[in-house]
Chain A
């Protein structure tokens, strides 16, 4: 979309831009659905008894919308932006990228229709009907072909760490998605649950984590205009994540009917996650040494470094509540809901938004419409997110203690959570306002791009 000079190839970024716009639209819609279902925890009769507006229909719509409509689409768009740049060549095929975008949009719209109609496979994060699963696989293959073909013709032999993460996540996503959405049909009972939790945990761990980290590794040095602290350390983090993450899913079934040794393996590898996590956080913080003053005015850096802190907190929580004693309290409570939201909305969405705020104006050859709006969206997300996550941690922990006391009726533990869910709703409202500002800023930046040309370097 940038202007081209005769004889010089520039990045077109059509696919990257398209994915980010589509992702922003689904971000808005999924955020609205999230607000409604959060309100339904207080007002179960809200929106009456229309079947497609019930909690059971809207909840999978929200989770799938946020995961695949917003975050994965945004990550794919940012991959289309950064991979050609890191390879020093244009994207292998913009036409293929746009075809992938068309198919992806069709899939998400198909998900909205089928889930609203109650067509649901009944497995967490794997609710989509089989024909949509097949289309997701096809779309992912198209995306993979474009990225791998771009990397294959790169100008530099040695790849920057973001490329390692993105290439690996493409392979891991295929593996995880096929196991979670197809292999589960050949099992039942506890074995199906084991496969499903492998998929649910690794949907975050082997899809959104490597994509998010690849994006962070690219945009933090770029936005701060300073080199990464250590490329070698980043590679240690990458390979340790590759060896460790796949084993951790069974920690969702601690104290369940799977063998003790499988639970122990999951706990052991969950604790070992500290290695890739700390290497990354150390690298990001050391990169920012002497650059922290940029937090004052640099909106992408605000999002990216706050995302790093949320990532650290998430990945400190994860190993801790995979320990049997802690898990006995927090498992299945609202603590886990707070933890999952901090990973997807706190860490990886902050990375994606930071990357989008950096990349979108550059794709359009313009400046962002409003730094003030971007700044306001950051504070709304930070305050809203913190109140959302912290209220659920506190409420969830106390809820778990109550569940361990057999003398307390279950319904009393539900009533006990009402004030915490109220804070969650208010936090969600702030975050949704932040999404609105983000969307508005992107829209006006696009519409007024000719009026604000990018200053010459």
Chain B
């Protein structure tokens, strides 16, 4: 069977690899900024988010 892979690899699998690299970059950045620190606070805070949302902007 003929191998039709090469253009698929160029067109999509390289893009997918870029996608995963970008995801990894986001993850590293999120860890460094503390956005994914081991903190369960958001799950309690969201239960009370129907309160007025601060001052008018």
Contact = CB atoms under 8 A, between A and B. Distances in A.
A258 B4 contact: yes
Nearest to A227: B43
B25 to A, nearest CB: 11
Interface in A61-101: 84-86, 88-90
Given A9-B55, A158-B34, A159-B35, A86 B46 contact: yes
A173 B10 CA distance: 21
Interface stretch (A17-25, A185-193, A347-355): A185-193
Contacts of A158: 34-35, 37, 39, 41-42
A160 B37 contact: no
A90 B53 contact: yes
B52 A10 contact: yes
A235 interface: yes
Given A160-B45, A221-B47, A243-B20, A231 B4 contact: no
Given A158-B35, A257-B2, A231 B54 contact: no
Interface in A150-195: 153, 155-162, 175, 179, 183, 186-187, 189-191, 194-195
B33 to A, nearest CB: 8
Interface string B22-44: 01100100000011111111111
Contact of A8 (B39, B50, B52): B52
A187 B34 contact: no
Interface residues of B, number: 39
Contact of A258 (B8, B46, B49): B8
Nearest to A265: B13
B54 to A, nearest CB: 6
A218 B46 contact: yes
A293 interface: no
A179 B20 CA distance: 16
A158 B45 CA distance: 11
Given A191-B11, A232-B38, A362-B50, A156 B19 contact: no
Given A88-B53, A89-B53, A175-B19, A258 B5 contact: yes
Contacts of A90: 53, 57
A246 interface: yes
A232 B47 contact: no
A192 to B, nearest CB: 9
A449 interface: no
A245 B40 CA distance: 26
B20 A246 contact: yes
Contacts of B37: 158
Contact of A159 (B7, B42, B53, B56): B42
A11 interface: yes
B54 A88 contact: yes
A228 interface: yes
B50 A85 contact: yes
B56 A7 contact: yes
A231 B55 contact: no
Interface string A82-123: 001110111000000000000000000000000000000000
A86 B11 contact: no
Contacts of B23: 239, 242-243
Contacts of B1: 257
Contacts of B34: 157-158
Given A9-B55, A239-B27, 6 more contacts: A9-B57, A10-B53, A156-B45, A179-B15, A246-B20, A257-B2
Which 7 A-B pairs give the minimum distances between C-beta atoms?
A160-B42, A228-B43, A85-B49, A259-B5, A8-B52, A190-B4, A231-B43
9 contacts: A156-B42, A157-B35, A158-B35, A158-B39, A160-B43, A160-B46, A194-B12, A227-B43, A258-B4
